[in-house]
């Protein structure tokens, strides 16, 4: 497991990072976390848990929670799955600060539209 230096008391594990120490009060970072589900159907419980941990971590640090859709396997994409994912997250009280529907300065938030960045 990789070690992450983060300041959180309630969560012991966040995205496979073990909390090893705490920042001093003088440390300033901008926390940005993302949840990147595939639009292949309904939101699963494990995905909801990951989104919740990321959301709580971001909000605990005054950061940004990002929803980026991982749709590079176009053969598995289910129509309207993105809208359903966003609706399910909203139902759970997890509202992304940046997403395909909200936008943001670091878009696009759909992975297939970011392919040129990686070439």
Q: Supply the pLDDT for residue 107.
A: 78
What distance lies between CA 28 and its chain's CA centroid? 21
Tell me the whole-structure pTM to 2 decimals. 0.71
Please check whether residue 110 is in contact with residue 98, taking contact to mean a CB–CB distance below 8 angstroms. Answer: no
Helix count and strand count (H, E) for the chain: 2, 5
Coil vs helix vs strand at 46: helix
- Checking if the pLDDT of 16 tops 50, the result is no
Give residue-wise pLDDT tens across range 47-91: 999 999 999 999 999 999 999 988 888 888 888 889 999 999 999
What is the three-state SS of 53-99?
Answer: HHHHHHHHCCCEEEECECCCCHHHCCCCHHHHHHHHHHHCCCCCCEE
Q: Supply the pLDDT for residue 49.
A: 96
Give residue-wise pLDDT tens across range 26-50: 456 789 999 999 988 888 999 999 9
């Amino acid at each position: 497991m990789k070690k992450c230096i983060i300041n959180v008391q309630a969560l012991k594990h966040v995205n496979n990072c073990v909390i090893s120490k705490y920042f001093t009060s003088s440390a300033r970072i901008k926390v940005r976390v993302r949840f990147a589900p595939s639009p292949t159907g309904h939101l699963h419980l494990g995905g909801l848990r990951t989104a919740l941990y990321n959301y709580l971590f971001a909000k605990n640090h005054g950061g940004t929670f990002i929803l980026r859709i991982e749709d590079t396997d176009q053969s598995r994409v289910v129509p309207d799955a993105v809208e359903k994912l966003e609706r399910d997250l909203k139902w759970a009280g997890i509202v992304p600060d940046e997403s395909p529907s909200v936008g943001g300065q670091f878009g696009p938030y759909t992975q297939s539209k970011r392919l040129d960045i990686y070439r």
